[in-house]
Amino acid sequence: MDSLWLRKENASDKEYCDLCHEIETKLDLPISFEGTYKWVVFLDSRINPCVPVLNRYYGVFRDGKLKTRGIDLRRHDTADIVRDCQREILALLSRASNSIEFRELIPSALEIAKRYVRLIRTGRVPAEKLLLEKRLSKSPEEYKSLSHQAIAAQQLHREGRYVHAGQNIRYIVTADKATIRGNRSVPSELFREAVGYDVEAYVKLLITSITNIFLPLGYDASMIRETLQT
């Protein structure tokens, strides 16, 4: 879906709606007005970090409703513990009415992230909050490079489960050093709490998530790690 982002000081919703009507009339191009944002943050491109992209952003409408696209919160392969942290941070930031108030809330947002880091480090995050999901590009026996999802798929295969290319595998990165080649993961069906999860792997995922949303504001991964004292 294509989008058009416009900015005009003190513009009213009616002005934007009138513009949509004019575009639709003159160009015979269907277009609708979604709303006016109090603020919006466009995330950097994964290909070129210096260029923001229009399909990865988060922002708040004038009515206070939060809108997100292309961030970890919206991805199906994000662990719920990371998703919960990002959701709580964005709920806090949504209170800001402008960019100044937004920046004033960043220290409090990072305190939320610190709390989640401490929670992960306790080793007591429930298994259902740790699940990661990836799609298999090959059958288990075809993998030569053993990614986490490949290891999880091979374990299921050895258990006699039917696993095939194109299937989504749900797994937990574990603290069990006995797994294959140091790539530690267990499919959700076989995970036991006694095995434990890889604390540092999930802290790293959390840091990446926080960096993703604050990088356009000058907070890179090293700064986030230092701020979270990890």
Collapse the DSSP code of 67 into the 3-class scheme (helix H, G, I; strand E, B; otherwise coil) and give the result: strand
* Mean pLDDT, the chain, whole residue set: 88
Q: Averaged over 79-100, what is the pLDDT?
A: 96
- Using DSSP, state whether 154 is helix, strand or coil: helix
Flag whether pLDDT at 178 surpasses 60. no
Higher pLDDT, 165 or 115: 115
Greatest alpha-carbon pair distance for the chain in Å reads 67
- pLDDT of 181 > 60? The answer is no
With a cut of 90, say whether residue 96 has pLDDT above it: yes
> Can you say how many angstroms the Cα of residue 132 is from the centroid of all Cα atoms in its chain?
12
Tokens coding 161: 């489960």
pLDDT reading at 145 higher than 60: yes
88-107 core/surface letters (b: 16 or more CB in 10 A; e: else): ebbeebbebeeeeebeeebe
- Tokens representing residue 133 in the block: 């999901």
Comparing 1-10, 17-26, 158-167, 179-188, the range with the smallest average pLDDT is 179-188
Assess whether pLDDT exceeds 70 at residue 29. Answer: yes
Angle between helices 99-121 and 199-214 (to 10 degrees): 180
Highest mean pLDDT range out of 27-31, 79-83, 219-223? 79-83
Per-residue CA distances from 19 to 26, 81, 161 (Å) = 11, 42, 57
pLDDT of 121 strictly over 90 = yes
Q: Are 146 and 183 in contact (CB under 8 A)?
A: yes
Residue 144: per-residue pLDDT: 79
**Global pTM value:** 0.87
**Angle between the 199-214 and 221-228 helix axes, to the nearest 10 degrees?**
120
Quote the pLDDT of residue 49: 65
Q: Is pLDDT larger for residue 153 or for residue 192?
A: 153
Mean pLDDT of 154-168: 88
Domains in the chain with CATH codes:
40-124+202-228 (1.10.132), 131-196 (3.40.1820.20)
Helix, strand counts (H, E) of the chain: 6, 6
